[in-house]
Amino acid sequence: MQTGLSDNDIIHQVRQGDQQAFSQLVSKYQNYVFTIVLRYLSSREDAEEVAQDVFVKAYRSLGDFRGESKFSTWLYTITTTSCITFLRRKKLEVHSLDNEKVLAHAENIDGGMRANQVEQKSRIAMVNQAIAMLSADDAQVITLFYKGEQSLDEIAHILGQETNTVKVRLHRARQRLKEKMEKHFMAEVRDLAM
Amino acid sequence: MDAQHNIEPRLWEYIDGLSTAEERRFIENLIATNAEWRSKYKELLQFNESLGQTIELEEPSMRFTRNVMEAIAAQHIAPAAKTYINKKIIFGIGGFMVSLILGMIIYALAQINWKSGTGSRGGFDLSKVDFSGLWNNNYLNAFMIINVVLGLMLLDRYLSFQKKDWKKI
């Protein structure tokens, strides 16, 4: 499926009427979009519906993509807006560990994973589990920065905030992630430092 | 205490490559000479690298791409907003509003008696400006009628577009 074409080349093809070329963009970005959506929504079914909607909106709005930013930045902006719209429409709570319910869930994870289970967990699972314990905003900033290959300026554009605000948010998000890991995965963090 | 508290943000800026050249030199020097800074730097660097390597992306269902392609099969790329938004109309509306405001200001200023400043501070009494000459019933009625006609024209245009789309189906 990888054709070596840049995103802008593919977009050009799609605009010329080659609708199938859009599937390359979907394949390339579906995991990124789905992960960002899951930072906001706890249900995978809802997340899949929203992620699908993001690509449909992106396709319909391709005429407005001027190529001034990266396609991924433009796509993640649509993703963020779609998540917020979905949450407003459904009046769901943002999947966040800042509320008591999720905090209790985290405590259960902590309790349930002591002893053998914690030791068996891989480093990857530990980091991802800790990210899942963060608030949606923190998790999104970390995901965009480390996985979405977005600079602070681009993240600021996606979130509609100042670059300096995003810088502070990223710093705080990393700090909170570190705290969560130290609190819930003490043994593994020690291994990590060795 | 402040210096202590600032170590992490400054080190993160350094690690993220956001420090200025001067700040970079300063921090490099601190890392080389100060054990506390060196230890913190190593800790954050390790944490940063582990994040880069270990954060996993979630995968949607196997049918995801196919579902999207099926959903867009009946869709068309909407024309770019700039192609159907006529700038002349936007500027026309803006110009109309500005001239309306300017007209009212000029009308109000024209009624002020500049020679006889009222009050001890020499201010003007704006409550004495009479707008009835501008907003009398005739002008108001003409304004309302023009708006109704424009509204009907817009409705007619909208309905004729709907009719064309319906005929295509």
The closest of A166, A147, A168 to A155, measured between CA atoms, is A166
What pLDDT is stored for residue A119 in this prediction? 45
Which among A15, A34, A146 has the least Cβ separation from residue B58? A34
Number of domains in chain B: 3
**Nearest residue of B to residue A128, measured between CA atoms:** B55
B75 → closest Cβ in A30, A56, A193: A56
Higher pLDDT, B143 or A48: A48
A143 vs B: CB within 8 A: yes
A112 vs chain B: nearest CA distance in angstroms? 22
Rounded percentage of chain B residues whose pLDDT exceeds 90: 25
- Residue B152 belongs to a domain: yes
Reply yes or no on whether the pLDDT at B87 is more than 50.
yes
Show me where the domains of chain A are located. Answer: 7-90, 100-193
CB pairs under 8 A between A and B: 112
Q: What is the ipTM of this complex?
A: 0.72
Q: Quick check: B65 and A14 CB within 8 A? A: no
pLDDT at A99: 46
Do B9 and B50 belong to one domain?
A: yes
Class of A100-193 in CATH: mainly alpha
User: DSSP for chain A?
Assistant: ------HHHHHHHHHTT-GGGHHHHHHHHHHHHHHHHHHH-S-HHHHHHHHHHHHHHHHHTGGG--SSS-HHHHHHHHHHHHHHHHHHHHTPPP--TTSHHHHHHHHHHHHHTTTHHHHHS-HHHHHHHHHHTS-HHHHHHHHHHHTS---HHHHHHHHTS-HHHHHHHHHHHHHHHHHHHHHH-HHHHHHHH-
User: What's the pLDDT score for residue A169?
Assistant: 92
Q: List CB contacts (< 8 A) between A38 and chain B.
A: 58
Q: pLDDT: is B63 or B52 the higher one?
A: B63
**A106-146 pLDDT per residue, tens:** 444 444 444 444 444 567 777 888 888 898 889 999 999 99
**Residues of A numbered 30-59 whose beta carbons fall under 8 angstroms of chain B's beta carbons: which are they?**
30-32, 34-35, 38, 47-48, 51-52, 55-56, 59
* Residue A124 sits at the chain B interface (C-beta within 8 Å): yes
Asked whether residue B78 carries a pLDDT value surpassing 80, the answer given is yes
For residue A104, pLDDT beyond 80 = no
Residue B65 with chain A: CB contacts under 8 Å: 23, 26-27, 30
From A57-61, A63-67, A148-152, B125-129, the region with the lowest mean pLDDT: B125-129
pLDDT of residue B86: 75
What mean pLDDT comes out for the span A22-43? 93
Mean pLDDT, rounded, for A102-107: 44
The pLDDT value given to residue B163: 62
Question: Which positions in chain B touch A171 (Cβ < 8 Å)?
Answer: 8-9, 12
Tell me what the pLDDT averaged over chain A comes to.
81
Q: Is the pLDDT of residue A66 over 60?
A: yes
| Range A17-41 average pLDDT | 93
pLDDT at residue number A5: 85
**Does residue B88 sit within a domain?**
yes
Residue of chain A minimizing CA distance to B15: A171
Residue B74 lies in a domain: no
Percentage of chain A beyond pLDDT 90 is: 46
Tell me, what's the pLDDT at A93?
53
Please, which residues have CB within 8 angstroms of residue B87's CB and are 6 or more apart in sequence?
Answer: none
On whether any CB of chain B is under 8 Å from the CB of A15, the answer is yes
Q: Among A60-69, A121-130, B50-59, where is mean pLDDT lowest?
A: A121-130
Closest CA to A123 of B46, B12, B40, B43: B46
| Domain-embedded: residue B67 | no
pLDDT score of B52 more than 60: yes
Q: What integer is the mean pLDDT of A154-168?
A: 90
Q: Please check whether residues B6 and B50 belong to one and the same domain.
A: yes
Q: Do B47 and A30 touch (CB under 8 A)?
A: no
The rounded percent of chain B whose pLDDT value lies above 70 is 82
Q: Is residue B154 part of a domain?
A: yes
The C-alpha of A177 sits at a distance from chain B's nearest C-alpha, in angstroms, of 10
Q: Which range of residues forms the domain containing residue B159? A: 136-169
Instruction: Write out chain A residues lying below 8 Å of B71, CB-based.
Output: 52, 55-56
Q: Which residues of B touch A35 (CB under 8 A)?
A: 57-58
* B164 domain-assigned: yes
- Residue B123 is predicted with a pLDDT of 61
CA distance B48 to A80: 25
pLDDT for residue A107 = 45
- Kindly determine whether residue B50 and residue A127, on different chains, have CB atoms separated by under 8 Å: yes
Length of chain A: 194
Among all residues of chain B, which has the CA nearest to that of A64? B80
What is the CATH number assigned to the segment(s) A7-90? 1.10.1740.10
- In a mutagenesis test of the A interface, which of B44, B53, B57 is the best target, namely the one with the most A β-carbons within 10 Å? B57
- Residue B110 shares a structural domain with residue B146: no
Check residue A124 and give its pLDDT: 75
CB contact under 8 A, B51 and A59: no
Question: B49 with B88, same domain?
Answer: no
What is the band of A188 on the pLDDT scale with cuts at 50, 70, 90? low
